[in-house]
Structure 1
Amino acid sequence: MSKSLLYRLFGLRKVPARARERLENEGIVFDEEGTSCALYYKNFRCSHKYSGRGWESLAVGSLVITRRSFYIQFPYMILCDKPVEDVVKYLELELKGPDKLVMKFEVEKIFEPSTGSLTCYWRTDNASAIFNHICDLQANHAGC
């Protein structure tokens, strides 16, 4: 259910080989490469995307979480490849059912150079496991 048809047919949002090798060496915890998602933009600006307000409902994205890195790739070259402890403090999470994870990003801190608002609705069977893992990381970071 989690892999999009465009990913299965054309490899859309495939993690580049060099990045994939590095992520595998770090120990992948969750690998949601080529996953179906919906994006909601509000006054969003980055180097390749400008949007006043709108939805992109048939998007394909990649989310890979390792023991050290948080890798996200969305359409229009919106990319994040940062240490996981730096990213989790700038995420708001919500679980909408067993297979839908909502991530609201503080884009100025995560996707540089960007401004505005970006929310992603991931459709994945691992939604609750990813939610719990990130919540644990956020709790550990808050306790430090």
Structure 2
Amino acid sequence: MQKIPVKLAAPGMKLAKPVTRENGMVVIAEGAELSETLISRLEQMKIERIMVQGNPLDLDGSGNSSWSKRAERLDNLFRRYKKDRWMTRVKGFFKEYFELKAAEQKAAEEAERLAEEKARAEAEAAALEAENGDGEK
């Protein structure tokens, strides 16, 4: 089970817990499979995070993002509070937040890279088509 931002949800993922509104009303039942439509509805309802089955996203903090580096520094920053259970909880909240932000940043970079590749492929296809079209005339 993994808590992820709705921005990183993908079709085919299944909910590990029901999605509820602030008043406790269930919006989407546990076990429901996400689709593009369902994800866009969650975004429209301003739901930020959902619990999904398994661990579909790599949130281990690996990578070179500033968020990953912040998560790595937490052990050092909280080294004097190892026996303080409240500070341990605060550290856990920060770690979860930084890992989510790192995964979000990684996904955004990947989406940008894929968009650039697609645009480049379309431009090459258009140039090839124009070249073939000129040769026929």
TM-score by length of 1: 0.24
TM-score by length of 2: 0.24
- Identify, as 1 or 2, the structure richer in strand: 1
